[in-house]
A and B are shown apart, each in its own frame.
Chain A
Amino acid sequence: MSLDGGGTPRMTRLNSMKPSERMKIPRQQPLEQDATERSTNFLEVSLGFDTDRSVIEASRCLECKETQCTDGCPVGIDIKSFIQLVLQKDYVGAVNKIREANYLPAICGRVCPQESQCESLCVLGKKLTPVAIGKLERFVADYEMKNNLFQSPHIQDHHKEMVAIVGSGPAGLTCAAELAKIGYQVTIFEALHAVGGVLRYGIPEFRLPKEILDLETERIRALGVQIYTNFVVGRTATVGELFDEWGFSAMFLATGAGTPTFMGIPGESLSGVYSANEFLTRVNLMGAYKFPEYDTPVRLGKHVAVIGGGNTAMDAVRTSRRLGAEKAYLIYRRSKEEMPAREEEIHHAEEEGIEFLLLTNPVRILGDERNCVSGIECQKMELGEPDDTGRRKPVPVKGSEFVLEVETVIEAIGQKPNPIIQSTTPGLDTGKRGTVSVNEKQATSRPGVFAGGDLARGGATVILAMRDGKTAASEIAGYLRSRNGDSSGAK
């Protein structure tokens, strides 16, 4: 294999170093808040790269001709080009290059699972360590923010059609930005009092500061997008009414997967048992970590058990730690290898003193005479034959039951879509687990209505939701053009 990327002509290279020299540079490590210190505050864990580290890291890029990194990006960011701009210290040029494909770089630079996407395909990673693409993305976005260098893109076309976006999470925000950029009149309807969906109520401050989310949102408003908060589509107005009475021509449904599921074990109604959604919403959206300055309380004992192995479970257990839990357990029925959470989050959780109880399954929550949680009974598991997901199925070990003394139990075992829209919209086909059915164009069974993100997927990542939002935007534009009799854009 040719290390210089398959014989790219020398003249297109910006980096004067030979590939062999570049490969000697170690992957740069971001600055991080000390683990002991950060487990008592809600400030951001990773402090990201500074300019020096960014330029060094950018110089590691081999500038391959075949940009596999871009193939690994769900929204197709031109990664090589933006890294070349970093190398030239044109950070604003770099962030604008990203923004061509992704309107929320400061968010994706923080929460995207780069290790399983772009970075997993980086040629450098085959023998060494991949370029820290995510940290570079975050750096250029932060640089632009800190230096107040953002300029709203010039909108050339103007269309009279109005498009409604339902839900202001990553899918909705992306779809809104993409449609507004090409001149459509876009209105977002958000059920909660604040914008962002899961980015607001779900992802904690220490992973995604709300200030960043607010700024990214302001940039979407700057495109002329109107946002109604406190508006529950299906209740405040139905999908049908938005078309017939409000005059929208098309709609993108992106209400996420916000309904929590419970294990169905005894004791779930005890005081001190939370869904991760409720726990995180109290803390992130309602500011319960600042109680009593903020009115919303959260009940947290000294010993907390979080059930689950995904990113939501990591967020909940690390939040518990920050709220003062002396013992914060993470109970997961499979082994660490099967955990769906990001490596970085698992690693951070371990550093913060979270105790992982793996191959452990809760069977019953115990309560005291005041109906408050006093413990959780678990059984040990062992891995058996692979199940239909290909992961080895955990089976209980007989006689292995034990009781863990805890005062708080948080269940983070998955969410499903909120049923309000599905139940109030005739002609909208739904699939398994309450998702809205879509085709490859994100179109639903109802003409003019598109859907995406977790509402259609049932529980995935921020970036896949954004990809759906982007696809839907271009399909909605095609749909509106074809409705106007212009077949050029219609597919």
Chain B
Amino acid sequence: MFPIVQKTSLAPTITKYVIQAPFVARKRKAGNFVMIRVDEHGERIPLTLADSDPAAGTITLIVQALGKTTKHLSSKEAGDTILDVVGPLGTPTPIELHGTVVCIGGGVGTAELYPIARALKNAGNVIHTVIGARSKDLVILEQEMLGCSDAVYVTTDDGSYGRKGFVTDQLKDLLGSIGPVHAVYAIGPLPMMKAVSTVTKISGVKTYVSLNTIMVDGTGMCGGCRVNIGGQMKFACVDGPEFDGHLVDFDELMMRNRSYLEMERQSEARWHQCRLTGEVRPA
């Protein structure tokens, strides 16, 4: 059992959890993820580690409540426990001295980007960070990003904060204005990462993306996370989750990720029903 030590709301639907998981905390590196299972009947889902405190034995997860499992998680409070947390999984982000790096976070992907941006900054890179969100209230970690970036730019779809538009608009401007860009790290929804990769492919800037896929075990056992990288089958859980954005077949992955849409809706509806009628199953 893994106790939730602290729970903080960062934005509507986006919550930060600090969880006691000492073994994971000791070993976490930027780019790692954990698999969690909230209770006995729950699904195993991958969540990227936003941070850890080895001394306190805690890990930090920043999660947007979108489906059944993440909503169930958001019903937990500090003091409650999560049944299973396993990790740190995945191949950590290779942190190198590139020179100038543009880090792009879309939505809750900014939380996954944060530890990478910080590690890249510590490695001596010049960091330009772009945070994209639908609207002002969904912009997260701006202060934290300011702390590890040389410049931070915010774009919102509706223009309620920062620049109105998409992260790619800002990226195009940066590619033409800040001198040579040596690498781009983009984490967010698949369409965003696809758009970023399309832009950087033209200018030939090395681009790293972090793929969220279907996953059951997270240790290389199920093959549900298989992705097409330059015509080769790779497992996101062990070979990734980060890959060269120019080689990823995003369209195929977006199709695959829709496999369980209907069942996810069914699961979520059932959960809401149980909550409404008070028949919350025992934890």
Contact = CB atoms under 8 A, between A and B. Distances in A.
A275 B222 contact: yes
B198 interface: no
Closest 4 CB pairs of A and B: A278-B222, A297-B263, A371-B255, A271-B259
Interface string A271-311: 11011011001100011000111111101000000000000
Interface in B223-271: 223-224, 226, 228, 233, 238, 252, 255-256, 258-260, 263-264, 266-267, 270
Contacts of A243: none
B233 A262 contact: yes
8 contacts: A231-B23, A260-B222, A269-B228, A287-B41, A292-B266, A292-B267, A297-B267, A371-B255
B217 to A, nearest CB: 6
A419 B43 contact: no
Contact of A269 (B44, B86, B256): B256
B219 A237 contact: no
B258 A419 contact: no
B87 A295 contact: no
A2 interface: no
A291 B216 CA distance: 15
A295 B43 contact: yes
B70 to A, nearest CB: 11
Nearest to A230: B86
A147 interface: no
A192 B85 CA distance: 10
A237 B27 contact: yes
B37 interface: yes
A84 B267 CA distance: 54
Given A191-B86, A232-B87, A262 B223 contact: yes
A271 B216 contact: no
A295 B69 contact: yes
Contact of B221 (A262, A370, A418): A418
Interface in B139-157: none
A236 B228 contact: no
B55 to A, nearest CB: 16
A282 B27 contact: no
Contact of A259 (B41, B216, B220): B220
A272 B252 contact: no
A274 B216 CA distance: 12
A228 to B, nearest CB: 9
Contact of B87 (A235, A270, A272, A277): A235
Contacts of A137: none
A295 B222 contact: no
Contact of B216 (A278, A287, A299, A420): A278
B68 interface: yes
B123 to A, nearest CB: 22
B192 interface: no
A26 to B, nearest CB: 44
B196 interface: no
A286 B252 contact: no
A313 to B, nearest CB: 16
B219 A420 contact: yes
B24 interface: yes
Nearest to A371: B255
A371 B256 contact: yes
B219 A418 contact: yes
Contacts of A232: 86-87, 89, 219
Contacts of A272: 259
B238 A419 contact: yes
Main secondary structure of the interface of A (DSSP, over half): loop
B56 interface: no
Contact of B260 (A275, A286, A299): A299
A230 B85 contact: yes
A295 B267 contact: yes
Nearest to B249: A269
Contacts of B255: 269, 271, 370-371
A231 B89 CA distance: 11
A295 B42 contact: yes
Contacts of A275: 222-224
A259 B220 CA distance: 6
Given A193-B86, A232-B89, A295-B41, A258 B220 contact: yes
A236 B222 contact: no
B230 to A, nearest CB: 14
Residue of A260, A270, A372 with most partner-chain B CB within 10 A: A260
Contacts of A419: 220, 238
Contacts of B66: none
Contact of A278 (B42, B83, B85, B223): B223
A268 interface: yes
Contact of B41 (A192, A293, A420): A293
B53 interface: no
A185 B271 CA distance: 44
B84 interface: yes
A112 B118 CA distance: 53
B259 A299 contact: yes
B260 A297 contact: yes
Interface in A225-239: 229-232, 235-237
B220 A294 contact: no
Interface string A309-335: 000000000000000000000000000
B24 A236 contact: yes
A265 to B, nearest CB: 11
Given A236-B27, A278-B223, A295-B68, 17 more contacts: A235-B219, A262-B223, A262-B226, A268-B233, A269-B228, A269-B252, A269-B256, A281-B216, A286-B43, A286-B216, A287-B41, A291-B263, A294-B41, A295-B42, A299-B263, A371-B255, A420-B238
A258 B150 CA distance: 45
Interface string A206-250: 000000000000000000000001111001110000000000000
A193 B88 contact: no
Contact of B23 (A237, A262, A268, A420): A237
Contact of B224 (A191, A278, A292): A278
A293 B282 CA distance: 12
Contacts of A286: 43-44, 216
A210 to B, nearest CB: 13
Nearest to A269: B252
A420 B224 CA distance: 17
A236 B219 CA distance: 12
Given A268-B233, A282-B216, A292-B267, A277 B222 contact: yes
Given A269-B256, A286-B44, A297-B260, A418 B220 contact: yes
Residue of B24, B42, B86 with most partner-chain A CB within 10 A: B86
A269 B226 CA distance: 8
A299 B270 CA distance: 18
A89 to B, nearest CB: 40
B84 to A, nearest CB: 4
Contact of A236 (B88, B217, B252): B88
